[in-house]
């Protein structure tokens, strides 16, 4: 929780903000976004080459697990053929504060990795506790839901 996090030194967020600010000042916003896009490309690689051939249910589980491994505190749910993904920890929060376009990069990553239409319902940047996404798989949710 936010209260617990306040007990730990957070200088890395200040360092990350300064670093991104430096990239923006010297290379432009596009260059800073490219750095973030590379982080999501790395996540995409971690999903494995066979991710696209998995059932929609298994792609959702795969994406959730990889995001959780790197600290997003992600969880997914399926109910009545509808899928949701919740991200409880924005690992790029310090970057998002100065480059809100980063959130669009996450959305594109999810759409690509899931092979689905993804829509953000709640947003940490807007003060919500999580970024929650509804996921609409082409052909519906298939697999062991």
> What proportion of the chain, given as a percentage, has pLDDT over 90?
57
> What proportion of the chain, given as a percentage, has pLDDT over 70?
88
Output the pLDDT for position 55: 93
Question: How many CA atoms, within 13 angstroms, populate the side-chain half-sphere of residue 6?
Answer: 3
Residues 6+ apart with CB under 8 A from 126: none
Give the separation between CA 12 and CA 16, rounded to whole angstroms: 6
* 103-134 pLDDT per residue, tens: 999 999 999 999 999 999 999 989 999 999 99
Element (H, E) at 137: strand 131-137
Residue 135 has pLDDT above 70, yes or no: yes
Give residue 14's pLDDT band: very low, low, confident or very high (50, 70, 90): confident
**Sign for the pseudo-dihedral over CA of 4, 129, 120, 28:** negative
Q: What is the mean pLDDT of the segment spanning 67-93?
A: 91
Give the separation between CA 130 and CA 85, rounded to whole angstroms: 10
Residue 100 has pLDDT above 80, yes or no: yes
Q: What is the mean pLDDT of the segment spanning 63-76?
A: 95
Output the pLDDT for position 53: 93
Give residue 23's pLDDT band: very low, low, confident or very high (50, 70, 90): confident
């Amino acid at each position: 929780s936010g209260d617990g996090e306040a007990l730990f030194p957070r200088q890395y967020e200040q360092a990350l903000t300064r670093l991104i600010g430096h990239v923006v000042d010297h290379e432009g916003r596009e260059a800073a976004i490219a750095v973030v896009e590379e982080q999501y490309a790395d996540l995409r690689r971690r999903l494995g080459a066979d991710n696209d051939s998995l059932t929609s249910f298994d792609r959702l589980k795969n994406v959730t697990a990889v995001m959780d491994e790197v600290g997003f505190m992600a969880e997914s749910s399926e109910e009545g053929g509808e899928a949701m993904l919740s991200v409880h920890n924005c690992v790029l929060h310090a970057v998002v504060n100065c480059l809100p376009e980063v959130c669009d990069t996450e959305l594109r990553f999810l759409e690509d990795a899931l092979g689905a239409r993804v829509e953000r319902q709640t947003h940490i940047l807007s003060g919500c506790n999580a970024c929650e996404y509804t996921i609409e798989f082409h052909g519906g949710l298939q697999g062991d839901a």
